[in-house]
Structures are given as structure tokens and as C-alpha cells.
């Protein structure tokens, strides 16, 4: 998994034809714009989780948790 920081209006390219543009955000939300071919299926995780009724299958779905932005090992020593 790749984790990075981006500025507003920066973008990522996935392959040659998928562009994800970061529009900024606030209040715990980030706005993005996705430019992709029509044949690429894009689904929000919340929608997928709503459709799954089997608790065992739902438990197997990947979960991602927020981490500290800068873990202690990367911070400069404060003296």
C-alpha cells in the first residue's frame, strides 16, 4: 500500500487512463475527482459494505485505520 501527502489540485495517474485529482477538504472529508474510462467500475466502500449481508464475508473485508501523520520515529528530537 502506498501512502502519500498531496496538495490541493495535485493528481495521481493510475496507468495511462485513470486520473485522481485531489480537491481539498475539511471536517474529516476529502474531495476527489476521478477521471476514468466508462468501463472502469468505481464503487465507494460504504456502498459495497451495505450490500454484503453475510457477517462472515463482511468480517473478511479489508479495514484501514487512520495512522498518525508523523510517527515519533520521524519527528526531530525536541530538547
Each residue of 51-77: pLDDT tens digit?
A: 888 888 878 877 766 666 666 665 666
Grid cell 479489508 in the structure block, residue: 62
Q: How confident is the model at residue 26 (pLDDT cuts 50, 70, 90)?
A: confident
Cα 20 to Cα 36: distance, rounded to the nearest angstrom: 9
What's the chain's average pLDDT? 83
Q: Is the pLDDT at 31 greater than 80, yes or no? A: yes
- pLDDT value for 74: 59
Per DSSP, helices labelled H in 1-79 are 45-51, 55-60
What integer pLDDT is reported at residue 14 of this predicted model? 95
Distance of alpha carbon 64 from alpha carbon 21, whole angstroms: 21
pLDDT at 79 exceeding the cut of 60: no
Cβ atoms of 4 and 22 within 8 Å: the answer is no
Amino acid at each position: 500500500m502506498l501512502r502519500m501527502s498531496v496538495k490541493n489540485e495535485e493528481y495521481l495517474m493510475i496507468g495511462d487512463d485513470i486520473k485522481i485529482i485531489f480537491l481539498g477538504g475539511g471536517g474529516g472529508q476529502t474531495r476527489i475527482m476521478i477521471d476514468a474510462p466508462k468501463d472502469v467500475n468505481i464503487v465507494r466502500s460504504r456502498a459495497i459494505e451495505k450490500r454484503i449481508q453475510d457477517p462472515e464475508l463482511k468480517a473478511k473485508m479489508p479495514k484501514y485505520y487512520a495512522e498518525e501523520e508523523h510517527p515519533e520515529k520521524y519527528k526531530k528530537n525536541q530538547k
